[in-house]
Amino acid sequence: MQNSKDFDIAKPHSPFPAPLPRAVGRLGSTAIVIGTIIGSGIFLVPHDVAERVGSVGALVAIWVAGGALSLAGALSIAELGAATPEAGGVYVYLRQAYGKLFAFLYGWAALTVTESGAIATLAVAFGIYSGTFYPLTHLQRRLISSLVIALLTAVNIVGVRKGAAVQAVFMAAKLLGISVILGFAFFSRGIVQPLATQPLPTPHTTFASFGVGLIAALWAYQGWHILSYASGEVKDPGRVLPWSYLLGTSVVVFIYLSANLAYLRVLPIRVLADARYQSVAAKTMEILAGPKGAAFVSGLILCSIFGALNGNILGGARVCFAMARDDVFFAAVGRVHPRFETPALALVIQGIWSIVLANIGSFRQLYTYVITSGWFFYGMAALGVLILRRSMPALERPYRVWGYPVVPVVFALVCFVVIGNSLIQTPLASVAGLGFILAGIPLYYGWMAWGRRKSAP
């Protein structure tokens, strides 16, 4: 049996369970937003988007739409987070709006698909790009993916301050690196663009192809919600959370649009869509600065993925922690380590499952699972803003979403349209992701029945 000194043993369902310390300030929370969004996506996904469009205008429109959607979601989540700054974030908001079953399904999806899947996807990309400096076998890449998850899990177990510090350092590094790429692309003269020998895979943009392209862009924007999971550890959350969501997401939208315009200045859209140019950032710098430029970008991508991984690991484990405190997960997972003041066991469980996913899934499969599963719940959380304003009118709201009710409603509707289109265009991966969610229904009722038997005299 675990020694009681190793964990805070306040019962998860007690009225005043021992909280996680509020140790993350404005810089740390903004770094979590920026650092968890900017991972591998902006360096790889522009190729996937270019495959689905028939013009530069449509490509830019997808990135604008993805940015606007993410910003609308972040502003909606900010109201909920400022009013209920508890560990678990979106899980807590869904519980308040729709009840324990719906919240459990989100927590189950976060553990099995969305958060662990995002961690696994980033780790797989980290392993792939590690091979650009030294030839690696498939097994060696998977080993590196597993090791980086284990390393960052350990960092976040040791303390949220250390996790936030890592996030801030790597946020600064990736912003500096992206600035170098933009500088080369926009200010270099006499650029010789590669010849486009292949026609566009999608000659004319349709509603369906636009939607599939948007799925890819949304993966690049994935992560704006992660700060909500750690909102119970943010100082002065009523002020800091809205500010960090707005600033962090806006910075990322600006960077992504600038990066795509930079790529297009060097790579025509037909080249951007060519499978040989999938690593668009590396190819861009190779043209502008030779092999050393490509090596620089590969190193930048590793730093970027490392920072995004850290943010996802830091935030994602707080969902299991919140579930345990609701008595819908193992009680030990809801206990705070007395020395490190972190949800240590939740981090361990998340880390182990993420390593499993990283060793059984491909990059594209994993991010499709994440988007089709996660964005359904993000849409429902946005609608929760309307529900909670009616059901909990007395709740103190330090921040109210701008453009209410249009912003959260439009955000939710677009989420559902994108998911519906994904189910039609990529049915196998999309249905698999939603299948993970539905599998949580019998688990929830089984857990509740087991709990009732356990507590019966």
Sorted by where each begins, the domain ranges of the chain are 21-452
User: Given pLDDT bands bounded at 50, 70 and 90, which one contains residue 222?
Assistant: confident
> What is the band of 94 on the pLDDT scale with cuts at 50, 70, 90?
very high
Residue 316 CA: distances (Å) to CA of 156, 184, 227: 11, 36, 9
Contact 177, 359 (CB under 8 A): no
The model's pLDDT over 273-322, given as tens digits with 9 standing for 90+, comes to: 887 777 788 888 888 888 888 788 888 888 888 888 887 887 778 888 88
Residue 10: the pLDDT is 36
pTM: 0.78
- Return the bridge partners of 87, or none: none
**Helix, strand, coil proportions of the chain in percent (round to 5)?**
75, 0, 25
- pLDDT, average across residues 429-434: 72
Coil, helix or strand for 384?
A: helix
Of 102-111, 146-155, 430-439, minimum mean pLDDT range: 430-439
| Mean pLDDT of the 234-250 span | 85
pLDDT band, very low/low/confident/very high, at 341 (cuts 50, 70, 90) = confident
Which whole number is the average pLDDT over 92-104?
90
22 burial level (CB within 10 Å; 0-12, 13-18, 19+): middle
Least confident of 61-70, 162-171, 371-380: 162-171
Q: How confident is the model at residue 13 (pLDDT cuts 50, 70, 90)?
A: very low
Q: Which residues contact 454 (CB under 8 A, 6 or more apart)?
A: none
Please give the average per-residue pLDDT across 93-107, as a whole number. Answer: 90
Answer yes or no: is pLDDT of 352 > 90. Answer: yes
pLDDT of 117-145, one tens digit each?
888 888 888 887 787 777 788 888 889 99
Of the pLDDT bands very low, low, confident and very high (cuts 50, 70, 90), residue 15 is very low
Confidence of residue 167 (pLDDT cuts 50, 70, 90): low
pLDDT at residue 149 in the model? 94
Looking at residues 78-99, what average pLDDT do you find? Answer: 84
Q: If you average pLDDT over residues 208-226, what whole number do you get? A: 85
* CA angle 116–120–125, rounded 5-degree value: 150
Least confident of 151-155, 389-393, 420-424: 420-424
pLDDT at 66: 92
Average the pLDDT over each of 317-331, 358-372, 396-410 and give the range with the smallest value: 358-372
Identify the CATH assignment for 21-452 out of 1.20.1560.10, 2.160.10.10, 1.20.1740.10, 1.10.3720.10: 1.20.1740.10
Whole-number pLDDT of residue 351: 93
pLDDT value of position 153: 92
How high is the pLDDT of residue 6?
Answer: 37
